Amino acid sequence: MFTGIIQSLGYLSAQRADRLEISLSPTDAQRVLGDMALGDSIAVDGVCLTVEAIAHQGFLADVSPETLQRTTLGRAKERRTAVNIETSLRVGGKVGGHFVSGHVDGVGQLLSNEQTDNAWLLSFGSVGSLERQWQEYLAPYLVPKGSIAVNGISLTVADCGEDWFNVAVIPHTYSETNLQLLQPGDWVNLEGDILGKYAARFLSRGRAMGQTKDIDLAFLAEHGYG
Query: Half-sphere exposure of 50 toward its Cβ, with a 13 Å CA cutoff?
Result: 7
pTM (predicted TM-score): 0.87
CA atoms within 13 A of residue 141's CA, in its CB half-sphere: 23
**pLDDT digits (tens), the chain, 226 positions:** 899 999 999 999 887 878 999 999 999 998 899 889 999 999 999 999 999 999 889 999 999 999 988 899 988 766 778 999 999 987 777 778 888 999 999 999 999 999 999 999 999 999 988 999 999 999 999 999 999 999 999 999 999 999 999 999 999 999 999 999 999 999 999 999 888 787 777 776 655 666 555 666 676 677 666 5
Distance CA 158, CA 12 (A): 30
Q: Strands 47-55 and 153-160: what pairing?
A: unpaired
